[in-house]
Amino acid sequence: MALDDLIQGSYGRENNIFAGHSEDRERARQALIQADLENVGYKEFIKKHKEFLRRQGRNKEFITEQIKRVKSLGLYFDGD
């Protein structure tokens, strides 16, 4: 699956919350792996998340909160 599709899939469909459900977390993990395979660096990875949220019409405050979640390594794991 393409990186951009995995990033989109790591957010809730209705609320655009990052990694809010186990399926979202699985796609978030897959997005990290795909980014590594494509040699996408950290800054570019974060930029792709921001771009997705902007396309969804989210405001700056919402984007800032979701990027904090993207940067939170614990959200990529189930059961913690």
Amino acid at position 65, single letter: E
pLDDT at 1 over 90: no
Structure tokens at 27: 């796609």
Report percent pLDDT > 70 for the chain.
98
Structure tokens at 56: 């969804």
**This prediction's pTM:** 0.94
Of the candidates 2, 9, 75, the residue with the CA atom closest to the CA atom of residue 37? 2
CA dist 13 and 4 (Å) reads 15
pLDDT tier, 80 (very low <50, low <70, confident <90, very high otherwise): low
pLDDT in tens, 12-24: 999 999 999 999 9
